[in-house]
Amino acid sequence: MTDLSEKPPVGASVWERDLWTHLTSHVRAERAMLEEYQAAADATGSKALQYLVGLLIDDEIRHHKIFQELAESLRTCAELGQGEPVIPAMDFHQADKREVLDITDRLLDSERLDAAELKRLRKELHDVKDTTLWGVLVEQMQRDTDKHIALLRFVKRHAGSRRF
C-alpha cells in the first residue's frame, strides 16, 4: 500500500492544516486496523470468521484509498498550480443536466427495485438467519443499496451546478 508524504501542504490555511492532520492521522489508524484484521484472518481456524474478516478487509482497503485521495486532493488544492486533484472538483455543470437527471432517475429506480428484492430475500432467509451467514450478508447488501441511493441523490441534487 502506498503512503503519502506526511509533510503538510505548503501555504495551507489553518483550516487546511487541521484537516490535513485529521486525514493523515486517519490514514494511519486505518492502516493499523487493516493490519489487525489481516492478522485475525490469518490466525483463525474458522473459515466463517475468515470469510467475514475478508469482507471487512476489502472495505478497509477502500477506506484507506479514499482517505489517501482526500489528503492528496487537499494538498493539490492548497498548493496552487499543482494541476488536477485526484478527487475531481464539482464540475457537474459540464454534463447535460437533463441527461444527468434521466440517468440518475433510472438508476434510482433500479436501486429501489433492488432494495425491495433484498428485503424479500431477507425475509426468505429468516429461518436460517442464525445458522448461516446468508442473512447477515444480505443485510450488508441492503446497507450498500442505501449507500448507492444516497450517492445518486447527491448527484441529482447537484445536477447542472458548478461549485468551484
Cell of 63: 477506506
| Shortest separation between residue 162's beta carbon and Fe ion, angstroms | 28
The closest of 35, 37, 26 to 64, measured between CA atoms, is 26
Number of DSSP helices (H) and strands (E) in the chain, helices first: 4, 0
Decide: residue 50, CB within 10 A, 0-12 exposed, 13-18 middle, 19+ buried. middle
The residue among 148 and 156 lying less far from Fe ion, judged by its C-beta, is: 148
The residue among 70 and 78 lying less far from Fe ion, judged by its C-beta, is: 70
| Shortest separation between residue 36's beta carbon and Fe ion, angstroms | 12
Measured from each CB, the residue nearest to Fe ion is: 63
The residue among 6 and 58 lying less far from Fe ion, judged by its C-beta, is: 58
Provide the binding-site residues for Fe ion, judged by CB under 5 A.
63, 148
| Shortest separation between residue 59's beta carbon and Fe ion, angstroms | 7
**C-alpha 64 chain-centroid distance:** 9
| Shortest separation between residue 89's beta carbon and Fe ion, angstroms | 25
